[in-house]
Structure 1
């Protein structure tokens, strides 16, 4: 994951390092028939009823939340509520929140100190449980909460005296390596692997999260001419791997596999997703790789994403395809197509990591207000692409080149249900019974229904139709809201968008993996 201000300051230099070729190469989207996988598309938005729509909310260096360390509890909470309200207003359905950015915690932990990004001092108690608060508030708005962990990063600098006494780097300095001006845990150590898994499972076991999320940071991104200092570990544990790169990939694979099994053993419904760097391997290295010419995550940060997908260790993959259409070293359209083929037929969802932070800032191509909308429309051409995650919240909120408005008024005009994962659960709840739908003086239509799912439901979908012949749950335009279940009693909703016109209402029940019941009985409102 990238800090937008970092890209602004070092964009040309850093991208030149990551991707060979000129940063200033620009290209118009070629004109061709919609449906060709070359970056072209129909100009008319095609909405989808099921589509993950998520925001990354980064806490490291206070990128998104909290806006600064040491804020009063009330201000911290209000800032987060604003993020959730903004997400809901844009018809998002998930937030991916960084709760362990640097071997620290946004929750009371027996393994990690309180994060300094909360209070300004690592280890200082903020006076409440931020994670419990965030999960509850997200669920109130029927937003999935994906708990985002950075597994190996210990510190954004090498100043150990600023770390809390119970920080892993101070308790186990032999586990820690200094590289590129930061501190990292050594992925080759079994003790490190156990510590990371225990850190994640502490959250899985004690909080009602919907998913565990890792980003692209595994072994650190390479510093030119300097190898990661893990030779002693390799000598001790790498005898079966003559190639050090294979051994490093094995270490990461073990973490992913063992954590995957631990999550599913504890809570089978909790998803596990990873957002790798956008390029796995280039064709000139591996003929099965993408038609690109940039840094290869398989070789440079030792991410064997293909194995994670093929083995079913992850439930979703969200590659960070942070480049524009036609970009010579790594064209957006080529990478979406490659990843779509990679997940085809697998029990893994593909979500695309979208570079909202580049809109209006990076290169000439990103000065085109249609670049990001066109990327989202292009995604819709692929059955394998199940949604998008935007980096990050503040860049979407900033409305660069009117992108936020475009989401609200066009691209995400209607709500969407999160795609189901039938390999985890495919048993829908029982349908609800709609008891009442009445027009309250033209200001709203008041709906009341009874949940008949016997505890299997967590939320409900509200549909509105203009006539009986229009009744179909397949049209996204008829889905007007999703609401969280409120206890076990009667459920209510006020439709304030009805415009005082005759309408027919139908309710469905959703379980926590978004399986949908059959529709309730319809009720006509004049």
Structure 2
């Protein structure tokens, strides 16, 4: 294995030397809404190039319906001008719902238009606008998260069934935050229902789960241990938890395709395969998911590091872009996987002093990291698309050079 990794790393470094620093590319519409035409489509027409539009972006949207529609159209036009053809939009971030036709979970606190226009379906307009601008729309869901990241338990509506679920074990408290219990069939049924109503009630092109699966668990933290002990399963605790997640993923995949055979289902996990295979976090059986077309149609690991990332000891980090990507390509090739490989790019880190093991962070020294990552990934012939995190960074002044270079790479 070490020899194989050595060969892969050598190839990776060679590709960096060749491509790394080269500029050579080997609902109802608003009254005045028109279909937007992209002026510079990419030659890589089969490639997916999307951006994540998170609950944080939702909080910045206008409350008034007309202003919301105008802003939405501006956003979609902006995405197209950046050379992208897809949007991954939050529709369910904290066991909540962002659309009027979604009733499985209570309405999200992050959608503000309901205050001034209770009957206006903001999600429906978002999807319609995306399609008018030639963008595919992927509904983005965080499966198990209930609280955390700007949402407190007090924000869960008192009349919601979620309030009583800690009493029956369907919701678990861990390190101050609440999670749906991955081991419970009631939870799995609920999540499958939530996904089904998204695909049934809205013309989405895909569904995406984020990386929030099991939380990190240290020894002595029970979480769903009582359910495991009561199950009588012959599996180890680790494999039982992995099976809980895989069962949900398989069921969601089936539900998406049953509701709309043309829609796709994908997952965007953390970047390191070793993290996904860890025995105390995530509990993602990534090898199983990648081995067939029964779990996901695409996988979109969040490769949110540059080429020069290092460990605290100064060694090349396993998170370094070329190293991490080579691991995913090796996995895909070894399993002869039918699953499409997309990769996530970290716009949010550009022009920041985010620690990467170097004296001066790579993100401060270059303004073309993401563009080089795209060129590098294309050169491998194994990557079918990209996701950019996140839309909220599109207007950051210090990221404009990086974003312009990425746009050139996308449209080349």
Partner of 2:327: 338
Question: What SS does structure 2 have at the residue aligned with 1:98?
Answer: strand
Partner of 2:79: 87
* TM superposition score normalised by structure 1: 0.64
Q: Structure 1 residues 36, 71: closer, same or farther in 2, change over 3 A?
A: closer
Q: CA contact under 8 A between 1:165 and 1:171: conserved in structure 2?
A: no
Higher relative contact order (CA 8 A, sep 6+): 2
Which of these two proteins has the greater Rg computed from alpha carbons? Answer: 1
| Cα drift, residue 41 of structure 1 | 6.1
Report the structure, 1 or 2, having the larger strand content: 1
4+ residue runs of structure 1 moved beyond 6 angstroms? 29-33, 36-39
Partner of 1:234: 228
Question: What SS does structure 1 have at the residue aligned with 2:90?
Answer: strand
| Cα drift, residue 383 of structure 1 | 1.2
> Quick one: distance in 2 between partners of 1:378 and 1:95?
23
| Cα drift, residue 194 of structure 1 | 0.5
| Cα drift, residue 297 of structure 1 | 5.2
> Quick one: distance in 2 between partners of 1:160 and 1:53?
35
Partner of 1:35: 15
Q: Structure 1 residues 169, 32: closer, same or farther in 2, change over 3 A?
A: closer
> Quick one: distance in 2 between partners of 1:201 and 1:365?
42
> Quick one: distance in 2 between partners of 1:392 and 1:186?
29
Partner of 1:169: 162
Q: Structure 1 residues 266, 82: closer, same or farther in 2, change over 3 A?
A: same
Partner of 1:52: 48
Report the structure, 1 or 2, having the larger helix content: 2
Whether 2:314 is the aligned partner of 1:315: answer no
> Quick one: distance in 2 between partners of 1:32 and 1:264?
37
Cα deviation code 1:409-430 (max 9, x no counterpart): x21235xxxxxxxxxxxxxxxx
**Mean CA deviation greater in 224-233 or 140-149:** 224-233
Cα deviation code 1:282-316 (max 9, x no counterpart): xxxxxxxxxxxxx4454321111221111212111
Q: CA contact under 8 A between 1:158 and 1:183: conserved in structure 2?
A: no
| Cα drift, residue 262 of structure 1 | 1.7
> Quick one: distance in 2 between partners of 1:154 and 1:316?
25
Match for residue 285 of structure 2 among 288, 292, 304: 304
Partner of 2:187: 192
Q: How does 1:25-174 map to 2 (within 5 A)?
A: 35=15, 40=20, 42-46=22-26, 48-59=44-55, 63-67=56-60, 71-108=63-100, 109-119=102-112, 126-156=118-148, 159-173=152-166, 174=168
Q: Structure 1 residues 212, 31: closer, same or farther in 2, change over 3 A?
A: closer
Cα deviation code 1:305-348 (max 9, x no counterpart): 22111121211100011112132332110111111222233221
| Cα drift, residue 251 of structure 1 | 0.1
Q: CA contact under 8 A between 1:104 and 1:112: conserved in structure 2?
A: yes
Question: What SS does structure 1 have at the residue aligned with 2:84?
Answer: coil
Q: Structure 1 residues 160, 244: closer, same or farther in 2, change over 3 A?
A: same
Partner of 2:401: 402
Partner of 2:376: 378
Q: Which runs of 5+ in 2 are unaligned?
A: 1-8, 27-42, 310-315, 356-360
Question: What SS does structure 1 have at the residue aligned with 2:57?
Answer: coil
> Quick one: distance in 1 between partners of 2:213 and 2:117?
28
Match for residue 324 of structure 1 among 306, 312, 320: 306
Question: What SS does structure 1 have at the residue aligned with 2:234?
Answer: coil
Partner of 2:5: none
| Cα drift, residue 189 of structure 1 | 0.5
Aligned-pair Cα RMSD in Å: 2.8
| Cα drift, residue 166 of structure 1 | 4.4
Cα deviation code 1:21-40 (max 9, x no counterpart): xxxxxxxx999986369984
Question: What SS does structure 2 have at the residue aligned with 1:81?
Answer: helix
Q: Structure 1 residues 159, 407: closer, same or farther in 2, change over 3 A?
A: closer
| Cα drift, residue 352 of structure 1 | 0.5
Number of equivalences: 365
Whether 2:266 is the aligned partner of 1:266: answer no
> Quick one: distance in 2 between partners of 1:311 and 1:171?
38
Question: What SS does structure 2 have at the residue aligned with 1:114?
Answer: coil
Q: How does 1:451-470 map to 2 (within 5 A)?
A: none
Question: What SS does structure 2 have at the residue aligned with 1:249?
Answer: helix
> Quick one: distance in 2 between partners of 1:228 and 1:37?
48
**Mean CA deviation greater in 247-256 or 396-405:** 396-405
Q: CA contact under 8 A between 2:88 and 2:139: conserved in structure 1?
A: yes
Question: What SS does structure 1 have at the residue aligned with 2:179?
Answer: strand
> Quick one: distance in 2 between partners of 1:186 and 1:124?
35
